[in-house]
Chain A
């Protein structure tokens, strides 16, 4: 499989998970929240400073339909993470070894 095919397929799977499958996720509190409720830690929780963000709580502001609102928020989040993490990775990557063989495949040091 070509790298490009893998990246595109993987990204589509991630968008599908965030945009569609996430609707079917469990809404029960997660392990930490369960323990916090059981042990009386929850009362110390403070209001989130970003609670008015248009994506707060994985619901897109202004969309009434639950399924659609969560899906849009999920896809938006996945896209933002892709741009930020991908951009960061490109920014810090090595750019010194551009040695390639006759078919333009990268050649590791010591192999040529």
Chain B
């Protein structure tokens, strides 16, 4: 979903640039609460994995492909603020070195795939986690659902930006329908990859999965109640 230069007009691109800079500023502060000596290497790994996986376009229908956006994945693994930093680093490297995603559209892409992707992914994940029983086994499927929702919402956010500052006069309704259709299919791929990766890390080191912390705390409490407080 990398927006190239020219799709959106200059004022809209400047506005999304301001939003992106503000979001990154908040993320730099927020990530401090999420990162310590133990979790900092995870952030590097998550960003690297998102970059690698974004190269893997999978077919979603006749002559069309999609790839992982990674917002929900990063948010669940390393926390939403750190996740936003990870996705943003990927988008900046892709734009400046790989000519993937316009340079004047960098703010737009950080806003769409970073801020919207992470925010929606994390909100759906936490929302479901609050409603459903606190269980470690539920973390990967909930992350998958969050990923599934995040992609079509990000595509609608693009339509919203296009409504404000699109450079071609096209009917918004058909743009929204087409974007939503393809990105719902891409969202299924996003959900599968996110569920698989979160499931793999949860299986070996649940304590390193940011979104699993609350379920682990609940579990620790249970053990203490049945076996008595240690030492």
Chain A residues proximal to chain B, CB less than 8 Å: 1, 3, 6-7, 10-11, 13-15, 17-18, 21-22, 25-32, 34-36, 38-41, 43-51, 53, 55-58, 73-74, 77-78, 80-90, 92-95, 97, 106
Residues of B within 8 Å of A32, CB to CB, are: 1-3, 155, 158, 179
Q: Is chain A's binding surface mostly helix, strand, loop or mixed?
A: helix
Can you name 29 A-B residue pairings with CB atoms under 8 Å? A6-B208, A10-B48, A13-B49, A15-B48, A25-B57, A25-B65, A26-B59, A27-B65, A29-B65, A31-B64, A39-B178, A41-B168, A43-B168, A48-B4, A48-B102, A53-B97, A56-B97, A57-B98, A58-B100, A73-B98, A77-B94, A77-B97, A77-B98, A85-B48, A85-B85, A86-B41, A89-B41, A92-B32, A97-B36
Q: Does B6 interact with chain A (Cβ within 8 Å)?
A: yes
Whether the pair A85, B89 counts as a contact (CB closer than 8 A) is yes
Please, how many angstroms separate the alpha-carbon atoms of A8 and B59 in the complex? 30
Whether the pair A41, B47 counts as a contact (CB closer than 8 A) is no
Chain B residues proximal to chain A, CB less than 8 Å: 1-7, 28, 31-33, 35-49, 51-53, 55-60, 63-67, 82, 85-86, 89-90, 93-100, 102-103, 155, 158, 166-168, 170, 174-175, 178-179, 182-183, 185-186, 201, 204-205, 208
Shortest Cβ gap from A104 to chain B (Å): 12
Q: How many residue pairs bridge A and B at CB < 8 Å?
A: 229
